Amino acid sequence: MSRKKLLAGNWKMHKTNAELSAFFESFIAESKGSLSSIDILFALPFTLLQRAKELTQDQNITIAAQNIHHEQSGAFTGEVSIPMLRDIGVTATLIGHSERRQYFGETDESVAKKMLACLAGSITPVVCVGELKEEREQGKTNEVLTRQVEAFLSATRDLKDLIIAYEPVWAIGTGLTATSDQAQEAHAFIRGLVRKHHGELKAESIRILYGGSAKPDNIAELVSKPDVDGGLVGGASLKPSDFAAMAIICAGD
Ligand code: PGA
């Protein structure tokens, strides 16, 4: 089965609304016709979501949050719920990014709860997993991926359109990209876990993105691998020319 490539940008805690408008003006002009043959997603700070929806309404661009709370509403100061995202037309969110696991106490359990809330609320979850440097060095990559991925895969019988992002923590923001062989190996392993829990059809249709210092000069090699269905891009998604170049490369693959 051929899976449509997905290039996703993760802006983390960057940019104002004025910078957002300037970005989209350049990005849409520079990515030319490529937007019709791949899917594009931007995971943005909450303050940019509404304006981003307006700016991209005629484009094949999904606007996503970077986190959600699993409850619908309640006394959770500082949090944002799925109905609140739906209220402004947002249809996707990242979940369990390694920075949220590292700095904000996200666990495999909270990630599974958030995924279930997304599936129930018709929000597409982009669930992030990946091993630390020490875990790779100790040969524990598959063990860590199994724990992280099975925590959410085993929480439901119906995955709908969930997306998985494999982001080795040692490659995020470090300039150290996984080799395309390392990425392929991890992606095939994760797809095998999807197959085990949800069967062949789901395993073949689910998209698995690579993240960690992906940029214009390494994305072609990464997405040439059979199980790498696109990228989740931090730093290089902040520059319209870099991200547009990556979109054009992914569209041509
Ligand atoms: P990076 O970030 O591309 O800057 O390494 C990726 C991510 O954290 O999603």
Q: What pLDDT digit, counting tens, does each position of 187-205 carry?
A: 999 999 999 999 999 999 9
> Distance, CA 199 to ligand 1 centroid (Å)?
30
User: Cα–chain-centroid distance for residue 101?
Assistant: 15
In percent, the amount of the chain with pLDDT more than 70 equals 99
Provide the pLDDT confidence category of residue 50 given band limits of 50, 70 and 90: very high
How far is Cα 59 from Cα 116, in angstroms, rounded to an integer?
Answer: 28
Q: What pLDDT digit, counting tens, does each position of 60-103 carry?
A: 999 999 999 999 999 999 999 999 999 999 999 999 999 999 99
pTM above 0.95, yes or no: yes
pLDDT of residue 58 exceeding 90, the answer is: no
What does the pLDDT average to over 105-111? 98
pLDDT of residue 231 exceeding 90, the answer is: yes
Q: What pLDDT digit, counting tens, does each position of 123-140 carry?
A: 999 999 999 999 999 999
Instruction: Tell me if 188 sits within 8 A of 231, measured CB to CB.
Output: no
pLDDT of residue 249 exceeding 80, the answer is: yes
Query: Is ligand 1 within 6 A of the CB of residue 184?
Result: no
Q: Cβ-count burial of 10 within 10 angstroms (0-12 exposed, 13-18 middle, 19+ buried)?
A: buried
Query: Is ligand 1 within 6 A of the CB of residue 172?
Result: yes
- What pLDDT shows up at residue 253? 67
Query: Is ligand 1 within 6 A of the CB of residue 211?
Result: yes
> Distance, CA 114 to ligand 1 centroid (Å)?
21
> What value does the mean pLDDT of the chain take?
96
Measure CA of the first residue to CA of the last residue in the chain; give whole Å.
15
Dihedral of alpha carbons 198, 203, 204, 206, sign: positive
Q: Which atom of ligand 1 is nearest to the CA of 235?
A: 4
Ligand 1 atom 3: the closest Cα is on which residue? 234
Query: Is ligand 1 within 6 A of the CB of residue 233?
Result: yes
- What pLDDT shows up at residue 28? 93
